[in-house]
Every structure is written in C-alpha cells, then in structure tokens.
Structure 1
C-alpha cells in the first residue's frame, strides 16, 4: 500500500481554557465568536465530562467543517490553511506540531 507524508504547513494555534481565550472570541464576559458556550440538554453544567474530568459548564463548543465539537479546557484551537477552525487535544498537538521561529 502506498504511504504518504503530510506536507509541512504553518498554522495558527491558541490554547483554550475558558471563554474569551481565543483572540477572535471577543470579551470573556460574553458568548465567543469562535468557541461558544457549551449547551446540551443531555448534560447539565455540574456533571463531569468522562474524557477530561471537568464539569460541562467549563467546556466550549466550536463549529467545524465536519460539524460541531466539544472543546475541553486545555484543547488547542487550530486555524487551518483555508481559515477553518477545529479543536485538537493537547497530546495530539504536542506530537504533531512544533513552534515556528
């Protein structure tokens, strides 16, 4: 089977911990433009997210080309080559990306 390597591409990335952390979000006391408040009728704000152990109230939500995704505190928000944004877990980010310059 043929193998392929990802082309080196520079991206913008910002680590997210709470509303307002992304530079394009606006003030922290309002709804973000990139990472919005997490809202889901199934999960109350005080319940714990199994993946990261934080309460749902501390999470965000981001719309991507593939649909919406939950953003856990500490996730990186990447901006791709065509301006698309998506979350990335810290361990995947560290294994995949390195600082430029």
Structure 2
C-alpha cells in the first residue's frame, strides 16, 4: 500500500449560517456561471437550506455547512467538522 498526502490547494469557502445568509452570499457564489448554488429560507428565516449542482449531481446543503468552490470552479458542500479537519485560513490571502 502506498500512502498519499493531499496537496495544499487554496479554495473559496463560505459557511451557510442564518447570519451569513441574511448578509448575502459572496460573489464567488452569486456570480458563478450557470448558478450552481440555490439557497432557500422558509418560515421567515427560521429554516435555511440549499441545493448545489456538483460534479456528482444535485446535493443538499444544510445550515452550518460550508459551500466550497474547488480548483476547477466546481462547487460542493462540506459538513463543518470535516471542513475544520481539512482546511485552515490562508495566512497569505
């Protein structure tokens, strides 16, 4: 068996929280080609959720998930616990 280490890659990410949703999604989501991310609010903002068109098909995004734009411009959701284990803020950005 051969072991591999994931290469460090810079991605754009935004956490889908009620507060962030009220402020509005960032440009990398709102101005994406073909609008792959759709965000919803129900019951006057009590419940938020969304859908992301990924390379694997349509996926749901739940409150507190991160929405990530990868190195090829693809979008995908990521649960907060996985995001925190996999990513850190770029100190040079």
State the TM-score, normalizing by the size of structure 1: 0.66
CA contact (8 A) 1:22 1:34 kept: no
Secondary structure of the 1:95 match is: helix
- The structure with more radius of gyration: 1
Q: Please report how far the alpha carbon of residue 90 of structure 1 lies from its aligned counterpart in structure 2 after TM superposition.
A: 0.4
Decide which structure has greater helix share. Answer: 2
- How is 1:46-61 mapped onto 2 (pairs within 5 angstroms)? 58-61=48-51
Gaps of 5+ in 2: none
Calculate the aligned-residue CA RMSD, in Å. Answer: 2.4
Distance between the aligned counterparts of 1:77 and 1:6, measured in 2?
19
Match of 1:86, SS state, is strand
TM-score by length of 2: 0.72
Number of residue equivalences: 80
Residues 52-96 of structure 1: per-residue CA shift (max 9 Å, x gap)? xxx8x5211110001111100111011111111100000000011
* Mapping of residues 86-101 of structure 1, within 5 Å: 86-101=76-91
Say which structure is richer in strand: 2
- Which residue of structure 2 lines up, in the alignment, with residue 51 of structure 1? none
* Runs of 4 or more above 3 Å deviation: 18-21
Q: Is the 8 A contact 2:36 2:54 kept in 1?
A: no
- Please give the residue correspondences for 1:76-95 in structure 2 after superposition, counting only pairs within 5 Å: 76-95=66-85
Cα deviation for residue 35 of structure 1 reads 2.6
